[in-house]
Amino acid sequence: MRRGYYFGWTLLLLALFTFSDASSQTVNQELSDIFKELWKLDVNRLSPGTHYNISLQGKAGYIPQGSTSAVDHASSPLFTSVDEAKLNSITTYARFMKLLDNYERSTGVAERVTAEEVTENNSFLDAILETAVMKHAHRYLIGKRKSRSVLRQFKSQLYYMWFHLYHRDRNGGEDSSGFEHVFVGETKFGREIMGLHNWVQFYLQEKQEILDYKGYKARDNDVPNEDDHVLNVQFSWHGLVKPVASAFVGVSPEFEMAIFTILFLTSTEKTTTAVVNLDEYQLEMVVHRHGRSIGTAYPKLLSSNNRHV
């Protein structure tokens, strides 16, 4: 009798753990649908093999967080070519790239925002708000009662979420923002890379030989292709190593701003995660909030090339 009792509890616990694991991978269909619509509208997404080429090379090994060295499994850069004329010809990219040198890299060092930089921030927002991607995202958020219909108010909401300065290191001044962390990258105490989830910044830092790609990260049965639009990678930057970072590749800045803004505004959790199917990828979307601003946001690649289907 006692043996049966314990056996029954064991089965129940196994069932609960199995259910918990399965539920953690449940696809958020509503977010998948809106992200698919934005994906279709992203006419400024660049095409691999046409506007840029990447070289995946070797699979990176495991290293712990805080490491300063890693075995290099990629002797060449990730980006072998990028059509910079194409980038500069698209207003949202051109204005986006002007923002990448506006920040102090290290946390604990207070940011000094000039009038020119404020103008650049506003010009970038003006540009993305004119795109079909951001217009559709705005309509979706209005329908969810997470944003006002007045464009000026939506722009102010975006500015606070992405460009409002806050303390990431409590020992210094206002040293960080959502935009800096996600798109530009930061270092913490000179020991750790934080953020830097944007492909354009990755390419530009590689070009300047500040960033060194170490190889891709993937499970053995899910090796990426060189036309993939989402990658997990390992790299070094300013003498530090990021064990694994994930980023979209080729997508426009307005697309990234749109999906992360939707994920942020449709949740009140400190950290929001959602599994979505997008194009041929299954992603875990992650957003961490810092008050009413974005702390971090990135896509975590779970499966590519429709292997999850």
Query: Which pLDDT value is given to residue 169?
Result: 65
pLDDT digits (tens, 9 = 90+) for 26-59: 999 999 999 999 999 999 999 999 999 999 999 9
Q: At what angle do helices 253-265 and 115-129 cross, to 10 degrees?
A: 90
Strand order in the sheet with 211-216: 211-216, 230-237, 240-248
C-alpha span between 299 and 273 (Å, rounded)? 10
Residue 65: CB partners within 8 Å, gap ≥ 6?
A: 192, 243
d(CA 143, CA 138): 9
Q: Name the residue ranges covered by the structural domains of the chain.
A: 29-304
Whether the pLDDT of residue 1 is over 50: the answer is no
Which of 25 and 282 is assigned the larger pLDDT?
282
User: Which tokens go with 123?
Assistant: 């010009």
What would the mean pLDDT of 67-80 be, rounded to a whole number? 92
pLDDT for the residue 236: 94
| pLDDT tens digits for range 214-272 | 999 988 778 899 999 999 999 999 989 999 999 999 999 999 999 999 999 999 999 99
* DSSP codes of every residue in 189-208: TTTEEE----HHHHHHHHHT
Q: Percentage of the chain surpassing pLDDT 70? A: 86
By percentage, how much of the chain surpasses pLDDT 90?
69
Can you give the pLDDT at residue 217? 94
Q: Catalogue the active-site residues.
A: 181, 197, 242
How does the average pLDDT of the chain come out, rounded?
A: 88
| Cβ partners under 8 Å of residue 192, min gap 6 | 65, 66, 240
CA 241 to CA 187: how far, in whole Å? Answer: 10
pLDDT on residue 166: 80
User: Quick one: average pLDDT of 13-19?
Assistant: 37
Q: What is the pTM of this model?
A: 0.88
